[in-house]
Amino acid sequence: MTASEGSITHVPGVVRLLDPLVRRLLAIGLPMGPNTLLTVRGRKSGLPRTFAVALAEADGRRWVVGTFGEVNWVRNLRAAGKGHVRIAAREEPIVAKELSQAEATAFFRDELKAYLQRLPAPARAFTRVFLRLTAPDVLDDPVRAARTRPVFALQRPDAEESAGVT
């Protein structure tokens, strides 16, 4: 566990309100920018749990960020270490590795900023406004963001095996 010290867990009301609609739209395959569905086994129930998350992709690498801190999907993914992402109409198995605080700082400082620059202008503008309103440290203070917002690198299970990770 890396980002749990002083981690936030407040999900803005508008996000909680829109989440069921966003999940339904993603489930039918409607593209919604970087958003996708993440399904992981519940850490207590053992049942599959599905959450809408933003998936950052760059140079064949993928990450998900716990923008609102230690929320349920973060705790479930940390416990399970694997799950599935739904991209368009495809389900892809993933293995998750939580980044250390130093790795997460580098992610927020380097990878996320580069990722945002590659987004189409409307998506980039929307994402920046959303982050300014809900998580400004993600854009302005990578060290603080890494302390309070868990980041997971996602890999395909076969990529993990070929890299020698067990």
pTM score: 0.83
Could you write out the three-class secondary structure of 114-162? HHHHHCCHHHHHHHHHHHHHHCCHHHHCHHHHHHHCCEEEEECHHHHHH
> pLDDT tens for residues 73-130?
999 999 999 999 998 778 999 999 999 999 999 999 999 988 988 888 888 888 888 8
How does residue 7 score in pLDDT terms, banded at 50, 70 and 90? low
How do residues 35-63 score in pLDDT, each as one tens digit?
889 999 999 999 999 998 989 998 889 99
Residue ranges covered by each domain of the chain = 13-157
Helix (H) or strand (E) holding 27: helix 13-27
Fold of 13-157: Pnp Oxidase; Chain A (2.30.110)
DSSP 8-state assignment for residue 107:
I
Of 115, 132, 109, whose CA–CA distance to 55 is shortest?
115
